A and B are shown apart, each in its own frame.
Chain A
Amino acid sequence: EPEVTQTPSHQVTQMGQEVILRCVPISNHLYFYWYRQILGQKVEFLVSFYNNEISEKSEIFDDQFSVERPDGSNFTLKIRSTKLEDSAMYFCASSRGLAGGSRETQYFGPGTRLLVL
């Protein structure tokens, strides 16, 4: 069964450093997403991406965040200058992107645990 993969599984970085989190969505999916979950808190939406552009972003997704689909398979989240409060689990997800019911099911990757020191 196809699945979303993410690398690395864990990342430790110093405050102020740039990090890039990588995701390989399911191959025939058209919509891609990033969510994050701070330890003990809810899963929060960051951004959705379709047709090589951002389709929606949350208030969390400020200028220090960016997303890119550099080739036909990868989808990346870049945090330009990490802060302590960016420490969280980051989940990538993808969906087929057709309206209605199961065609909108989102498939999540296992996550990248980011720790900012």
Chain B
Amino acid sequence: DAKTTQPNSMESNEEEPVHLPCNHSTISGTDYIHWYRQLPSQGPEYVIHGLTSNVNNRMASLAIAEDRKSSTLILHRATLRDAAVYYCILRDSMEYGNKLVFGSGTILRVKS
């Protein structure tokens, strides 16, 4: 799996937007960019994924650079419940059932 680089931690104020960056300079053409998060004492949870175009869902938005070497997860209004570790993971779209390789992720702290 291609590697990703994320900041160790970030802090945000409640109700403000949060931009979580991820660098993946060795991404291949068939790699999807997936984001998962892990709330305290819980299992990882899917957030969003994309290939080339920016994506929105009820949880977040994903902005993908034109060269696909970086992406940004956007939480539009952070809440205390968004405090978690956020993982950026590349997944090969040509493979079936392949494992998730978790890095250290970004610890997001949300202040009230």
A interface residues (Cβ-Cβ under 8 A, vs B): 4, 30-31, 33, 35, 42-45, 48, 50, 55-56, 58, 91, 93, 95, 97-102, 104-111
Contact = CB atoms under 8 A, between A and B. Distances in A.
B26 to A, nearest CB: 20
Of the candidates A4, A35, A100, A109, the one having the most CB atoms from chain B within 10 angstroms of its own CB is A100
A104 B91 contact: yes
B102 A105 contact: no
Given A99-B95, A104-B93, 4 more contacts: A44-B102, A99-B93, A100-B94, A110-B42
How many B residues are at the interface, by size bracket?
Answer: 20 to 34
A43 B38 contact: yes
B44 interface: yes
Contacts, number: 70
Interface of B: 32, 34, 38, 42-46, 49, 51, 91, 93-104
B101 A45 contact: yes
Given A50-B97, A104-B97, A43 B44 contact: yes
* Interface secondary structure of B, over-half rule: loop
Contacts of A95: 97
Contacts of B100: 33, 35, 43, 45, 93, 106
A109 B43 contact: yes
Contact of B96 (A31, A45, A107, A108): A31
B39 to A, nearest CB: 11
Contacts of B101: 45
A81 B49 CA distance: 39
A56 B99 contact: yes
18 contacts: A33-B100, A43-B100, A45-B100, A48-B97, A48-B99, A56-B99, A58-B99, A91-B43, A93-B100, A98-B96, A99-B95, A100-B32, A104-B96, A104-B97, A105-B34, A108-B43, A108-B44, A108-B45
